[in-house]
Amino acid sequence: MSLVALGDSITLGMGDPMPDGGWRGGAALFGLPGALARPLSRRIRAVNAVADAVAARYGSVHFDAAGHPQTYDRRMWSVDRLHPSERGHRLVAHSYAALLGVPGPGLEPDGLPPTRRAKLGWLATKGTRWVVDRSTDLVPYLVAMAAAEWWYGLRGTGYRLDEAAARETAAALRALTGPARLGPQPEPLGLGHGPT
């Protein structure tokens, strides 16, 4: 058996609207305003739809973090609210182990959670650096998404953004409809039986 992990990202329902007018998922967790929550929600729904389709197509193990109620517990997230804490990593590892039918790690962290001082220290050093790095790629993109959301909303045509996202997602899903292209899997380095 081969295990492959692609990336370290967890996608959530970033801004799924609730009947009471509030937001579920990342928007609630991060306190995002609607002008950011709505476009991010569209993007994350598209990413999740394609990830679900790829998992189904290739028969991969797929943990739906967005559907797990503990995902939205703040203790599962690090101080930046973008990456899992030790408890969050344990939840992911435990959930994958359960899907694979093997024993997983315990859900409780081994150590104490970071202190408030440690969190503030991280934000002041690494967190600040992350914001500076993202100010040239992510921030302009978020501003553009929020501006489009505002503009289309002002004109009463926000539905067009939903329709465009649905078309793009459908096109990505159609691209997956051909036969699965699975070739021979390379043997992991150092584990072969032949000469090295």
Task: Report yes or no on 20 lying in a domain.
Answer: yes
- pTM: predicted TM-score of the whole model, two decimal places: 0.66
Confidence class for position 167, pLDDT limits 50, 70, 90: very high
Task: Report yes or no on 92 lying in a domain.
Answer: yes
Task: Report yes or no on 45 lying in a domain.
Answer: yes
In tens, the pLDDT along 103-159 reads: 988 888 888 888 889 888 888 888 888 778 777 777 788 889 899 999 999 999 999
Task: Report yes or no on 170 lying in a domain.
Answer: yes
Q: Which domain holds residue 62?
A: 16-174
Give the percent of the chain with pLDDT over 90.
17
64 vs 14, more confident: 64
Task: Report yes or no on 184 lying in a domain.
Answer: no
Instruction: For residues 47-60, give the mean pLDDT.
Output: 84
Task: Report yes or no on 2 lying in a domain.
Answer: no
In the predicted structure, residue 4 carries a pLDDT above the cut 50: no
Q: Are 53 and 1 in contact (CB under 8 A)?
A: no
Task: Report yes or no on 144 lying in a domain.
Answer: yes
Task: Give the chain's domain count.
Answer: 1
Task: Look at residue 178 in the predicted model and tell me its pLDDT.
Answer: 61
In tens, the pLDDT along 181-192 reads: 555 444 444 434
Task: Report yes or no on 179 lying in a domain.
Answer: no
